[in-house]
Structure 1
Amino acid sequence: MRKYDAIIIGSGPNGFAAAITLQRQGLSTLIVEGADTIGGGMRTKELTLPGFKHDVCSAIHPMALASPFMSSLPLKEYGLEFIQASYAAAHPLDNGDSALLYNNVEETAQDLGVDGQTYKKLVIPIMNQWESLALDIMGPLRFPRHPMDLASFGLKALKPATWIASSFKTQKAKALWGGVTAHGIQPLSNWATSAIGLVLMAVGHRYGWPIPKGGSQSIADALAAYYLSLGGEIQTGLWVKNIAQLPDHKALVFNMGPRQILQLQGTGFSETYRRSLGRFKQGMGVFKIDWALSEPTPFRDVRCQQAATVHIGNTFEEIANYEKNAHMGRTGQKPFVLFAQPSRFDYLRAPEGMHTGWAYCHVPNGSTANFTTHIENQMERFAPGFKDTILAKSTMNTVDIEAYNPNYVGGDINGGLMDIYQLFTRPTLSLAPYRTSNKNIYIASSSTPPGGGVHGMAGFHAAKLLLKDHFNVDVTL
C-alpha cells in the first residue's frame, strides 16, 4: 500500500480542514471515513418522503462565512452556494410580536426600541473587529495578536448570559438574547455563556446565517472536490478499530472525540494522557425531528417564515429555566426549540409547493425520551395549524444521533460541554490541545478549540502544529 505523510480519520469539516491544510503544503494525505458517504455533520438525505431533502445534523451555518479558514477556500468554484434569508433569526413571543435578528445591526437595534442602544454597544465593536478577533478566539489559549480587542471582547464574553440579559429592559430584547445564547447548550447562568451569543449576533450582522443551496451535503461535496483537486485521497466505508488497519504513514490526525479515540487500539498513548481524555465532560444531547410539510409553517407572525432560524421558547426566563433543568437531567413539556425551514429559500429541498422542516431541542445526555409531542406542541403554540401541515416525520433521539455519528456522544452535537472549564482546555489541559502523548498523533475534532460548528478551525490548528513539528513549516491565515 502507498505510504502517506498523514492520514486523517473522519471527514467532517475539521477533518477536511486538516487534510486541505496539509495537502496545500505538498504533503501526501488520505482521509478515511467510516460511513459510506463523506461529511460528518454535513449530510443531506431523504429522511421522510421521496424528494424531501433533510439536513441530518447541521442546517444553518453562522460560522461558515465568518471562519478565517473557510473563507480562505475557493469553495464557490467547486459548486458551493449560500443563500441568505431576510432575517438571520426570529424569536416569536406569546403576545404575537417577534424579536428579529436582522442582517443589519441598525435595523435590529431600531426594532428593539429602548434596548437598541444597549444592543449596539454590545455587538457593534465585535462586528467591526471580527477579522482580528476571529484569529484570537477561534483557537487555543495563546498570546493574542490583538490583545486590546480581545480584552474588550473578553470583558463581555466571560459573563453569564443571565447577567447581560439583566441589562435589557424589555422582554423582547431579553428573549432574542436568550435564544441566541442557548445555542451554547448549557445553563445560561454559566460563566462565559455570553460568548456564543455575542459571536453569533455579530457574525449574523457581518455575514448572515447562511443556508447552503441543496443542503449541508453541498459543503462537504465542495470541500471534497477542492481537496481532491489538490491531490488528496478519500476512502469511505472503513471503520478504524486498530491503527494497524491503516496504510503506512508518518502522522495521524483524529477528527474524533475522546471516547472514540480511547477505543482505538495501537495509539500508544501514555496512561496519564488516557486518564486525562477519560475525564472529558459531555454536554446535553439533542432530540431532533425532520418533517415533510404541505405548506410553509403558519407562524402567527409571518415574518418568522423569512428567518433562517426560528427560536421557539418565548421569554428569556422560560428558556433559561428549561436549559438549566435539562442540564440537571430533568425534562419539561415546553422545551426550547430551534427550527429551520430551508425550503422557503431553496427550491431544491422539496417537491414544488411542498416544504421541509428541521427542529431539535436540548435534552439530558443519553436520554431516550420521545420529545416529538413536546416539540410539535411548541411549534403549534406559535404557529397554529402547524400539525395539520405534517405529511411525514423522522425522529432521532440521542442514541440514534450517536449511532449516526459516534462523535456525538449521548447526542452531544458540540463535541463536549463548552463551559468555561472546557472552552479552551479541551480535550485536555494544554496550551497545545491538538497534540497527544504520541508525538505522531493529533486531535482535530470539535472536542478541541474552538469547539462545535462548521468552521474548520480546529482542523487547521491541528494541521498547523503537525506541519511545524514534523516538517518545519509554518502556516498562517
Structure 2
Amino acid sequence: MVDVTVVGSGPNGLTAAVVAARAGLTVRVVEAAPTIGGGLRTAELTLPGFRHDVCSAVHPAALASPVFRELGLLDGPHAPEWIVPEASYAHPLPGGRAGIAWRDLDRTVDGLGADGRAWRRLVGPLLARQDGVVDFTGSQLLRVPRDPLAAFRFGLRALEQGTRAWDRRFTGDVAPALFTGVVAHAAGGLPSLASAGAGLLIAMHGHGVGWGLPRGGSQTIADALVAELAEHGAEIVTDAPVQALDEVRGSRAVLLDTSPELLFTAELPHRYERALRRYRYGSGIAKVDFALDGPVPWANPAVGLAPTVHLGGSRREIAAAENAVARGLQPGVNTRVAGDGGAPRHPYVLVCQPSVVDPSRAPAGKQVLWAYTHVPAGSTLDATELVTAEVERFAPGFRDVVLASAASSAREIGAYNRNYVGGDIYSGALDLAQLVKRPVVSTAPWRTPVDGVYLCSSATPPGPAVHGMNGWYAAKLALKERFGLTI
C-alpha cells in the first residue's frame, strides 16, 4: 500500500505528488489518459512536425509561482527552458492599429499615447508590490493579506475595472481594448469583479515576470515534474480512469486533481453535498489548431512579435460577445451590438502563436497557431470558420497560409478531459462568489469530509492557471493531518 495516491496528473496533481514524495512518502499518480500532463499536454494535432499545446500554452502564473520556484521548475536541473518574449501580448484593432503590451512598461506607455499615463497608473502600483499581489491572489480570500497595501491597491483597481466605472480611466479605444482582451480570459459576463481581478494579475505579470512559455511546449512542464517524481521513486500509472473513490481508498491520503464530481461517488454529509451541488461550471471553449505555411500576415507587423494575441475588436465588442455567451448564445448568433450603431458582433478569440519565439514547434519556415473562443457549456460548435474569419479580419490573407486545422468543440473537450465539465477548462465558473466558495466556503477548502481525501484541482483556491499552488496547499494540509508532517 502506498502512502499517497494522486488522481490526475495535471500541474496541481503532479505538484502535490512531488511535495509528498519529497517528504519521504511513497506516492502513486493515477492518470486516466495515455499520457501525463492534464492541461499541459503537447501533441501533433494537425500535421507531422507541428507541435500544438492541447490546452494551456503561455504561463505567466508559472513564472510568478513561489511553489514552482521552490520545486526547481524555473531554474532547477529538470526545469524547462523558459522563453520570455519581448511582447507579452497584443490586441489588433481595425485599420491596422494595435495595442502592444511590451514587457517593458515604459515602452508600453509610450505606445499608448494619451492613455499611456493612465495605463501606468493602473498597472504600475501593482508592479511595485508584485510579491504582495501574488501572495494576496495566490490563496483563498478568507485570510488577512500579508501585504495590506498591495491588497488594497489591487482591490481598488478591480472595483474600478470590474464595474461600469471601467470606462472612466481611458480616453481612447486602444488601451481599454488591450486590457479587456486580458480580462476576457476569465470567460464570463463583462464587466465583472472576478474577471477584472484575473486580468489585473496577468496584466501585471506582462510587465513583471513576463508571459513566458517553455521551449518545446507545455508538456515539458509536466515532464519536469515527472522527472522529479522519478528521482524519489514515485509510481505513475496511465490509462487508468478512476470511476469511483472506492477504487483508490487504500492509501492513507488521496489527493484529487479532478473536478468535484468524483466526490459524489462517495457518501457525503448532507450539508457538504448540498453545498457542492451548488457549485457552478462556466462557459466552454471551442478550440482550433492550425498548421501554417508561414507567419500570420498581421496588418500591423508588431502583432507578429507577441505569442499571445487577443481578437474581438473594441472593449464594447468584446463585452457584447462575452455577455452573449454568458446568456447561452452561440458565437455568431444575434450578431449585432446593441447601442453600437448595429455593428456586427465578433467573437472574442484568444490566439497563441508560440512559434514566433519557439521555432522548435514547427518545421523550418512553418508556424503553429492555437486559438479558442468561448461558447455555452456543452456546445457542439466547430469554430474553424468563426476563428478563421476573425483572424482574417486583422490578418488579411490568413486563409492562404493555412495548411491544415483541427477543431475541438466544447463537448469534445469535456469528453477528452472529464475535469473540463461541458468544456469549462477552469473547472468552475470564475465569479466573485466562487472565488470565496471554491468549491465550498471553508478556511480549508482542500479538505473534504471523506476520510483522508483532499481536493487539489483548479476547483479549489487559488483557482485556475498553471502555478501548482492548489496542489501545494492540499498536499501541505494532507501531510500535516494524515502524517504529522509540517513542511
Q: The TM-score by the shorter chain falls in which range?
A: over 0.9
Matched position secondary structure for 1:64: helix
Query: How many Å separate the matches in 1 of 2:272 and 2:485?
Result: 27
Deviation at 1:170, TM superposition (A): 0.9
- The reply to whether residue 135 of structure 1 matches residue 135 of structure 2 is yes
Moved more, 162-171 or 120-129: 162-171
CA displacement, residues 134-179 of structure 1 (integer Å, 9 cap, x when unaligned)? 2232112212222232122222224416533431111011100110
In the alignment, which of 337, 342, 349 is matched to residue 349 of structure 2? 337
Listed one character per residue, the Cα deviations across residues 208-255 of structure 1 (whole Å, up to 9, x for unaligned) are 111211111111101111122133221111111233433731011110
Aligned CA distance change for structure 1 residues 156 and 339 (closer, same or farther; 3 Å) = same
Q: How far apart, CA to CA, are the structure 1 residues paired with 2:101 and 2:115?
A: 14
- CA-CA distance at 1:30 after TM superposition: 1.2
Asked whether the equivalents of residues 312 and 347 of structure 2 are also in contact (C-alpha less than 8 Å), the reply is yes
Equivalent position of 1:279 in the other structure: 278
Counterpart check, 1:97 vs 2:79: no
Q: Which moved more, 1:93-102 or 1:138-147?
A: 138-147
1:264-323 per-residue CA deviation (whole Å, 9 max, x = no partner) reads 3xx342232222211110111000000111010000001111102011111000000000
What is the 5 A alignment of 1:52-67?
52-67=50-65
What is the aligned partner in structure 1 of residue 243 from structure 2? Answer: 241
1:325 aligns with 324
Aligned positions of 1:403-442 closer than 5 A = 403-442=415-454
CA contact 2:245–2:262 (8 Å) conserved in 1 = no
Is the 8 Å Cα contact of residues 4 and 247 (structure 1) preserved in structure 2? Answer: no
Identity %: 42
CA distance in 2, matches of 1:16, 1:165: 41
Q: Secondary structure at the match of 1:4?
A: coil
> Who is 1:20 aligned against?
18
Q: Distance in 2 between matches of 1:38 and 1:13?
A: 10
Equivalent pairs counted in the alignment come to: 470
Which deviates the most, 38-47 or 275-284?
A: 275-284
Cα distance in 1 for partners of 2:30, 2:127 equals 37
One-letter identity of the residue aligned with 1:157: A
1:384 to 396, 407, 411: 396
Show the 5 A alignment for 1:289-328. Answer: 289-328=288-327
**Shift, 1:119, TM fit:** 1.4
Kindly report which structure 2 residues correspond to 1:12-411, keeping only aligned pairs within 5 A, or say none: 12-75=10-73, 76=75, 77-140=77-140, 141-159=142-160, 160=162, 162-246=164-248, 248-262=250-264, 264=265, 267-333=266-332, 334-411=346-423
For residue 405 of structure 1, report the CA deviation from its aligned partner.
Answer: 0.9
Which letter maps to 2:464? G
Structure 1 letter corresponding to 2:13: G
CA contact (8 A) 1:258 1:278 kept: no
Q: Is the 8 A contact 1:161 1:193 kept in 2?
A: no
Cα distance in 1 for residues equivalent to 2:312 and 2:146: 38
8 Å CA contact 1:434, 1:462 repeated in 2: yes
Scaled by the length of structure 1, what TM-score is found?
0.95
Change (3 A) 1:95 1:453: same
Higher mean C-alpha deviation, range 105-114 or range 267-276: 267-276
Distance 1:162 1:387, change over 3 A: farther
Greater shift, 145-154 or 313-322, is seen at 145-154
Structure 1, unmatched stretches of 5+, are: none
Structure 2: distance between partners of 1:244 and 1:183: 36
Gaps of 5+ in 2: 333-345
Distance in 2 between the 1:270 and 1:165 partners?
A: 46
Whole-Å separation in 2 of the counterparts to 1:292 and 1:152 = 43
CA distance in 1, matches of 2:4, 2:86: 43
